[in-house]
Structure 1
Amino acid sequence: MNMSKIAQMPGHLIRRLNQVAVSLFLEEVGKGGYDLTPVQYAALAELEIAPGIDQATLAARIAYDRATIGGVVNRLVAKGLVDRDTSSRDRRAKQLSLTEEGKRVRADIEPLVEEVQRRILTGLSVGEGEVLVKLLQKAVEAGNEHSRAPMRSDEE
């Protein structure tokens, strides 16, 4: 098979793999009866381990743009999955936490998300998949500061 130059470029391949990953996510989660995007899932997963964080911190922890995280949170609040309360430390800030329904949904879709991860690596052996994940982690970490939304473990 004659490959075009673009089909050999890492940026193009990463974009294509992201398209595959999003499509598989929406398919699997949709089959389970849930209407969630990968970013909404990331927000739920992060709020489960860090309840009470504010929107800016959530954005930093999932490497999402601060200007658009509000829309993600608004949709999760509208779906009854996240509560947004005024911070006791800063009246301007809103603390986020999962509702009981949010916790249930997050737990229910975990096996679906794990299936997506397996399907993303279709065509690779288990060892190749492990190597790919390690290399992706290494590349993402090295390029984190070049992102429009760098990942931060805590708001800096």
Structure 2
Amino acid sequence: MFDIQLFGRVEVRTRGTLLAGHDLGGDRPRRLLALLALRGPQSTAELADALEEKNNDIESDMSVLQDKMEPMIHRHRGRWSLDPDQVRVDVHRFDELLAAAAGRPAERALKPLTAATFLAARPLLEDEDTPWAAEARAAYRAKLVTARAGSTITV
């Protein structure tokens, strides 16, 4: 199982091993992994557009990432994806916790909101200075603020 952390630095933990930075193949492969973990299946063209790179560069970087992260990265029908049976992503857990808190009375929303707040203690993709990362950071910050306001409790 691979645990991908997007809150804070992009990191991958598996079987007691921590992979970060150049362990993931460099900056572009790390960003590709983050995009797949955050957005789900993407075509080469979609990844190239997000990173403002050429399709050939994306293909090359995905090959590097696949070598580093096999068996969790797949390509099917022209779309790259992470194997959901092999990967857990902290932002998905964050979304699950917010969904669990939604619509609950304050006393029942406290536990999942506290857990979501703990997960989001560091900014999403904190080391990424790109437009797509800034947009995602703002969206997740807004999700947390909205969930807190909707619960009428402070965590």
Q: TM-score range by the shorter chain?
A: 0.3 to 0.5
Taking structure 1 as the reference length, the TM-score comes to 0.40
The answer to which structure has the higher helix fraction is 1
- The structure with the larger Rg is 1
The answer to which structure has the higher strand fraction is 2
Taking structure 2 as the reference length, the TM-score comes to 0.40
